[in-house]
Structure 1
Amino acid sequence: MTGFITRHLFLSLLAILLVTPALAGTNLPDTIVLSPTILYQTKRQILQRDPAIRPAYENFINEAKQALDASIESVTLKKKAGPSNDRHDYWSLSPDWWPNPAIKNGLPYVQHPGEANPEASSDIYDRSRLSRMARQATTLALAWYFTGDELYASKSTALIMAWCSDSSTRVNPNMLYAHSRLGVAEGHHTGIIETRDLIRVVDAALILEPSHAWSKSTSRKIKKWFSAYVQWLMHSEFGRREAESRDEHGTWFDAQVAVYALYAEDIDLARTIIRTAERRRIVRQIMPDGSMPYALKQPRSRNATFSTLEAYAILSSVGERLGLDLWNWADPVGPSIRQALDFAAPYLNPKKKWPHGTTGVFNPYRYVPLFRRAALVYKDNRYLDYLNELPKAHGARDNSILFY
């Protein structure tokens, strides 16, 4: 039944569109994290057939075409509901918790710090669905902006509506059952970090606003969902505990609230989050030498360090939209985002040994956008030099060159 509903939703949206692609996005897109200026510049380069970005653009369009054929994702597609018995509740497994080998049914699960249980990324749970939906919705929205092809806008809109607004498929605006520890706890506050993927969905929604697939009614419904989620984040016990975290979880909590509040038009809350981040995050988390002790204590400390920097970049992007410069803010005794970036930057290359504790598997390509953005913000090509240390074959087709 759910599959029929989501297919019907997509076809209904498609039926109202002008099927002939038109030149989309004649104005700057009103994005929050992605730079409107860079996106507009890239669009001009595409129209001019600039060979410098051609490999990356062709790779990107191939990904967009694949996303057109992908299934629409929803939390209601899991085979069984989680602890609440409501399929609309998001449910995920805490990634480093494993079945207990000493007990026949594996319960209660036990923690293996830093070791990812592949069960957590299976479609038993919703984590991978959320990740796929966010990636595909964003790719398709950007493909519409670059090409004007309403097929991309229609599919992206359907994905976002299925996740956030369609009454038969939408997710409930809470994370009570994220990071479940089977036999131990139905959920954990650390699971809130998983909805950072929705930050990309916000930018996708903003990009789509001028398309034929999107409407004022759609905007109201999606903003209503994000407003409800912000209220849960700010007033729930899980939200309070996550906000108190001094590692990447706390920084990502702030980044999410800032983006979602700004999108839902709660400007005062977004501004408060950015202003308090100076003392609450930068001063408390970053040392004068740029190290972040709470990140360095994590089982996968290199990942935690770069992930925290990524969250700082998103907070700083929200600050830009509000006229608040978090990128360059510095405490009188020294701590700043740039110092933390400079501390970690030499170790983006995974071939370089990380001298600050355990590291685990590290994927540097996730953080390529961070370094591209830093090069622009700080007007310092040294950050691009770090990218040049990565395999060049990947760099030529790296999509982030289109967006940052």
Structure 2
Amino acid sequence: MSRKYSLKHVAVSFLCGSLFFSGIGFAASTSTDISLKKLRLFVDGVNKSAPNGLYNNQGDKVPESLIYQNTTYVPVRMVGELIGKTVEWDSACRAIIIGSKPGEEAKKAACKSTEALDDSKLLTLDAATLNEAKRKYVAGDPLVTQSVNKLKQDADAAMQKGPLSVLDKTKIAPSGDKHDYISIGVYWWPNPDTPNGLPYIQKDGQQNPEVNTNAFDRTNFGTTSSGIRTLALAYFYTENEAYAEYAAKLLRVWYLDPATRMNPSLNYGQAVPGVNDGRAAGIIETLNILNTLDPATILNGTQYLPDQDLVKFKQWIGDYMKWLMENPIGIDEKNAKNNHGNWYDAQVAAYALFSGHPDIAKKVIEDNKKRIASQIEPDGRMPLEIARTRSLHYSTYNMEAITIVARLGSKVGVDLWNYKTEDGRSILKALEFLTPYISKQKEWEFEQIKAESLSSALPTMATAAKAYGKPEFRATAEKLLKEKDATARENLLFAVPKASN
């Protein structure tokens, strides 16, 4: 882009009249039409109005002013000339520079936000999809814009919540340290046959409402994770720094600030009252951490989560990874035979990559081949998930974990997508088994105690469509995406590849 062309665009990138005229309102039609009627302009008491209401911008005539929705706008370059300030357009940064130039460090920090996301730095989000959606949003694509507008609404709502921390729960962990995360088993209920309700009894697939009360950390943890992710994505698309600032605040309060941070361990997750103080199943709740890694990378492109804070967060992640790998509770989760084992692998591999230990990630992902061999039958069924009372849900849930591990494997040179045992057990076979049920071409044949939306399978099917290019995966992903609301965030996060010719 030439400098002359750029400055012409600066000239018609109008500066809000309320900024130039110190908040003075101007009468205008209540219509939303743009009014180009000539206005008078005074600077330091001197009439600076253009004779014909047009401003000469390097040979082109542009309106000296206009009124739109009761607000007056004037060309920023003209304003600069009138007050004796130079105006430049930095196309690389998409920045208007009035007067003296910013220092290189300040400019670099401010302009990071305009850079496209780098897929090599993201773990679960797809950079190409996000970058393309943003390109369309900037270009005014109406379909993408409506999804971004909904995302902005969600972000505005997230800014009204928190910041929350592990200190906000009403109960205290058996350690006596409020910085320790605590929760109780999701499917465990008070015992009706004992006066004090202990020991709790299991009702698989039926969630105890006590789980999500403020007595424990589960709800606040989820709210914080969701808030960080929503705000970081909203910042990426809109570059509204208020979103980045609050997202970084939520992250620092939960993970970094010594007064409020969570200890990087999970000794008391999904406890069963009357039975134990914590157990391996609780580690599934730290998927909230997994979902915070890519947002942190996005936020690092701003002044609100500078490099030194990202380093501290990576240290926290590394410490939690170490706990997962060395603590008996973490080791129990590693030994889980069902979806918990795959989600353990997904977490440890992602935390290893994020904290700078690719060797650990590679070993975990390589070892995941054993899970494929033991969990998936030659026909693609997953018996341990099918045995559950919500068997379709847990089958797709397990598949999501497996595909995340496979995606991470591509970053360290381990190809799980094409791995196959001698008797045919593979990720591909499991996907081929599940797809007709997810697409509703076939009725699920196993126990499912309640109807559930299958939209949660969208990340898996979109990823599978890219990995394999199979028409049935692509068609299923398209179907799931079309079933979402037109304003849904998924339209910004998941792109279904086009059919090959």
TM-score by length of 1: 0.90
Higher helix share: 1
| Cα 1:94–1:371 shift into 2, 3 Å | same
Residue segments in structure 2 that go unaligned for 5+ positions in a row: 1-105, 495-501
How far has the Cα of 1:351 moved from its partner? 10
Q: CA deviation at 1:52?
A: 3.4
Distance 1:221 1:22, change over 3 A: closer
RMSD of aligned residue pairs (Cα, Å): 2.4
Structure with the largest fraction of strand: 2
Asked if the contact 1:21–1:147 (Cα under 8 Å) also holds between the matched residues in 2, the reply is: no
Structure 1: gaps spanning 5 or more residues:
1-15
Give 2:126's match in structure 1, choosing from 28, 35, 58: 35
- Residues 106, 156 of structure 1: alpha-carbon distance in 2 compared, 3 angstrom cutoff: same
TM-fit CA distance, 1:46: 1.1
Match for residue 44 of structure 1 among 125, 135, 143: 135
**Aligned-residue offset at 1:165:** 1.1
Count of matched residue pairs: 388
Q: In the alignment, is the contact (CA less than 8 A) between 2:256 and 2:312 conserved in 1?
A: yes
Compared CA separation, residues 102 and 123, structure 1 to 2 (3 A): same
Alpha-carbon shift at residue 177 of structure 1 (Å): 0.6
Q: Tell me the alpha carbon deviations over residues 294-320 of structure 1, each in whole angstroms, 9 at most, x when there is no partner.
A: 111223211211111110121112112
Q: 1:246 and 1:124 mapped to 2: Cα distance? A: 31
Alignment of 1:251 onto 2:345: no
Which of 389-398 and 366-375 deviates more? 389-398
Greater mean alpha carbon deviation, residues 24-33 or residues 203-212: 24-33
Distance 2:135 2:446 in 1: 43
2:38 matched residue in structure 1:
none
Q: 1:77-96 CA deviation, whole Å, 9 max, x = no partner?
A: 00221322211111111011
Match status 1:356 vs 2:449: no
CA contact (8 A) 1:189 1:242 kept: yes
* CA distance in 1 between partners of 2:469 and 2:327 (Å): 41
Match of 1:178, SS?
strand
Are residues 27 and 248 of structure 1, via their aligned partners in 2, closer, same or farther at CA, if it must alter by over 3 Å? closer
Taking the aligned partners of 1:128 and 1:374, their CA distance within structure 2 comes to 31
Alignment of structure 1 residues 56-75 onto 2, 5 Å? 56-75=147-166
For residue 312 of structure 1, give the secondary structure of its aligned residue in structure 2. Answer: helix
Structure ranking higher on relative contact order (CA contacts 8 Å, 6+ apart)? 1
Q: Aligned partners of 1:82 and 1:156: how far apart in 2? A: 27
Percent pairwise identity: 33
Residue pair 1:290, 1:343 contacting (<8 A) in 2 also = yes
TM-fit CA distance, 1:364: 1.6
- The aligned counterpart of 1:145 is 236
Of 239, 242, 259, which residue of structure 1 is paired with 2:330? 239
SS at match of 2:380: coil
Q: Deviations over 1:175-202 (max 9, x none)?
A: 1111111111111111111111211101
2:262 matches 1:164: no
SS of residue paired to 2:177 = coil
The 3-state SS of whatever aligns with 1:69 is: coil
**Counterpart code for 2:157:** Q
Q: Does 1:180 align with 2:244?
A: no
Q: Which residue of 2 aligns with 1:284?
A: 374
Equivalent residue, structure 2, for 1:116: 207
Partner of 1:373: 463
Residue matched to 1:307: 397
Structure 2 CA distance for partners of 1:350 and 1:73, relative to 1, 3 Å:
farther
Q: 2:353, 2:361 within 8 Å by CA — same for their partners in 1?
A: yes
Question: Which residue in 1 is equivalent to 2:475?
Answer: 385
Aligned-partner SS, 2:114 = coil
Q: What amino acid maps onto 1:33 in structure 2? A: T
CA shift at 1:252, angstroms? Answer: 0.5
2:8 aligns with none
2:63 is matched with which residue? none
1:208 aligns with 2:299: yes
Q: Is the 8 A contact 2:481 2:491 kept in 1?
A: no
The structural deviation recorded for 1:334 is: 1.3
